[in-house]
């Protein structure tokens, strides 16, 4: 098996990565290394892996690098390539949810070389692909200034009145949502289309999602007034399976959003701005190396 590490150039000088590669080579594992330099390198390197008969590539970087690899694989019909992850980002949301080692470059690379690849789902938003989560509305428009309570609202965490009040001051996005034969008018404050479970630096947006069930978990917070805060808080505290008047949760294979204004969307760190967006799941599109009994896999 030919294994090639596609390493984010910003991380190439990290001594622990170099030590891990040298140690694995000394143990008899063959691993090639390619380092990115500029935009477009990941796409080119993925294409080269496919053309040169590489069996497995390891994406060395953060969630954005992983997303870039997945997008390149699917754009170039290279889904036969097995993919592993060396988590090197600040948050490593996807790897953390998958229980891929995030504290040891050696352990992550060892799993990447020796672990078993399983077929998992990817997702598409218009012509762009992602593997973890697409956030929309308020969550995609602001990052560092987003109240922690609002970032947590989908994860069953502790919610505060101040965070909800700040959400009220945000102008919601109005549009039409179509899924499963339904047509629904929506005024979205914040939403997410989830294949994976975590985003935003460890926030469990959809803790019950599986990446091999052929479904996307869609969750949103609809517009509310100050007088409706008690009802919103009550719905937020109901648990991950609850769907009510303000907190909406659904499982879909595809979903269409259309609006008169541009809806800001964040695909695993990559922005997408469009008035019409079609989300759809791509079952079993990626061969991903995961730990045995990874919690994001729905066991048969």
pLDDT digits (tens, 9 = 90+) for 258-293: 999 888 888 877 888 899 999 999 999 999 999 999
**Out of 58-67, 69-78, 176-185, 224-233, least confident range:** 224-233
Sorting pLDDT into bands at 50, 70 and 90, what band is 246? confident
- For helices 15-26 and 105-114, what crossing angle results, to 10°? 40
The helix (run of H) or strand (run of E) holding residue 114 is helix 105-114
pLDDT at 228: 85
pTM: 0.86
Out of 137-151, 195-209, 235-249, which region has the weakest mean confidence (pLDDT)? 137-151
Q: What is the DSSP letter of 42?
A: H
Annotated catalytic residue within 223, 228, 256, 270:
270
Give the whole-angstrom CA distance, residue 151 versus residue 199.
9
pLDDT tens per residue, range 166-180: 566 677 889 999 998
Predicted local confidence at residue 131, as pLDDT? 95
| Distance (Å, whole) CA 94 – CA 85 | 10
What residues does each domain of the chain span? 3-114, 128-281
* Predicted local confidence at residue 168, as pLDDT: 62
- Other beta carbons within 10 angstroms of residue 96's beta carbon come to 20
pLDDT at 190: 81
Q: What is the CATH number of domain 128-281?
A: 2.60.200.40
Average pLDDT over residues 197-218: 88
State the average pLDDT over residues 205-224.
91
Q: Establish whether 270 is a catalytic residue.
A: yes
The fold of the 3-114 domain, in CATH, is Rossmann fold (3.40.50)
Pair 61, 11: CB distance under 8 Å: yes
């Amino acid at each position: 098996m030919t294994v090639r590490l596609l390493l984010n150039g910003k991380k190439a000088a990290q001594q622990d990565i170099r030590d891990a590669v040298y140690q694995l080579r000394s143990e008899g594992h063959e691993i090639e290394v390619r380092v990115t330099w500029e935009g477009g390198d990941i796409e080119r390197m993925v294409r080269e892996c496919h053309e040169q008969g590489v069996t497995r590539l390891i994406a060395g970087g953060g969630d954005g690098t992983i997303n870039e690899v997945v997008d390149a694989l699917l754009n170039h019909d290279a889904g036969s390539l097995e993919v592993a992850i060396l988590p090197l980002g600040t948050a490593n949301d996807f790897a953390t949810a998958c229980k891929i080692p995030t504290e040891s470059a050696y352990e992550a690379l060892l799993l990447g070389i020796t672990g078993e690849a399983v077929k998992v789902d990817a997702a598409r938003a218009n012509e762009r692909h992602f593997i973890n989560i697409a956030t929309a509305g308020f969550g995609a428009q602001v990052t560092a200034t987003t109240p922690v309570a609002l970032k947590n609202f989908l994860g069953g965490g502790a919610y505060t009145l101040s965070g909800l009040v700040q959400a009220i001051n945000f102008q919601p996005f109005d549009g039409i949502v179509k899924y499963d034969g339904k047509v629904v008018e929506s005024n979205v404050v914040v939403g997410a289309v989830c294949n994976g479970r975590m985003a935003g630096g460890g926030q469990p947006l959809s803790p019950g999602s599986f990446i091999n069930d052929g479904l996307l978990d869609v969750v949103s917070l609809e517009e509310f007034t100050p007088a409706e805060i008690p009802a919103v808080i009550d719905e937020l505290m109901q648990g991950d399976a609850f769907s009510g008047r303000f907190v909406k949760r659904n499982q879909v294979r595809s979903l269409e959003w259309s609006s008169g204004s541009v809806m800001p969307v964040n695909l695993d760190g990559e922005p997408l701005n469009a008035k019409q967006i079609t989300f759809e799941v791509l079952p079993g599109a990626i061969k991903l190396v995961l730990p045995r009994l990874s919690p994001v896999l729905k066991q048969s």
